[in-house]
Homo-oligomer: A and B are copies of this chain.
Amino acid sequence: MGCIFGIDIGGTEIKIGKFKGRELVLKTSIKTDTSAGGRYVLPDLFRKIDELSKGEKIAGIGVGIPGPVFKGIVNGAQNLGWGRVEAEALIRERYPEARVRVLNDANAAAIGEMAAGSASKFKNFVFVTLGTGIGGGVVIDGEVLEGENGAGGEIGHMQIANDGKRLCNCGRHDCFERYASATGLVITAKELSEGRKTRLHQTGFSAKSIFDLAKEGDEVALEAVDKMVEALAVTLANIGAVLNPEAFIIGGGVSKVGTFLLDKLSKKFREVCFFALKETEFALASLGNDAGIYGAAHVAGK
């Protein structure tokens, strides 16, 4: 039956999973070379796939990309240095026998959580990845919503302030991800700590140290976390007012904080949401950083 590759291309590394059927049999990663407009990303990936398959039949290749993807065409991926790239066609050209699928990375992770993780009981949910940025995957009736130009679920670029203070990678200001991602949390904590006593001056400002100190009751760290949670709660409530999903599934690096974050978030959400949304469920993603490779493999193996 051949093997299936589930691949998750990020701005710093490319995660590669080799699957037999639904089973992940091997997992590895290579560095992402974003030099020269990201032109080495696919050749590097191909070399690694060849090495990992060693002439074995490749039944499918699924690839998640950090940017909008519509019908296999990437419509800009700043973290890779890519503009418009016909990624699916390029991969298919190199592996004509394989079933090739290219999709947005958060959409891939959403499908991964539905196929093998904590969204398995939902068919209408929004997957939210909290990492350096914020990604989203909107699943309706079990299908991921790509949208007209592949920007379905690009919730990190909802505008949630209007003071023009925080510039986003997308070129605009005040995007959600500048407030509620790991990056946003650090910016907020730095702002709040000016002239105030906090152990963050000793530990340094990382999302992890902010959460650790917040748990220990450090006032500034706790205030920064609460501001992040409020931005998250209000924005998810706004998404809720559009979609009214069964659940929000919270993933990405920041979600490793676990129930400390989830409890605060679901409580705040219920405070700020439209009344008909109060029963919306919250769950932590369970596949961690592997959600993307599971989802990419799933769509390539369908």
Contacts and interface: CB of A to CB of B under 8 A. Distances in A.
Contacts of A150: 244, 276
A17 interface: no
Contacts of A280: 148
A233 to B, nearest CB: 10
A275 B170 contact: yes
Contacts of A240: 151
Copies of this chain per assembly: 2
Given A170-B275, A238-B238, A148 B244 contact: yes
A28 interface: no
A124 interface: yes
A261 interface: no
A227 to B, nearest CB: 11
Contact of A276 (B76, B155, B272, B276): B76
* Most B C-beta atoms less than 10 A away, residue of A124, A146, A243: A243
Interface of A: 68, 75-76, 124, 136, 138, 140, 145-159, 162, 170-172, 234, 237-246, 272, 274-277, 279-280
14 contacts: A68-B276, A75-B276, A147-B244, A147-B245, A148-B246, A151-B276, A153-B242, A154-B241, A155-B242, A159-B237, A159-B238, A159-B272, A239-B242, A242-B242
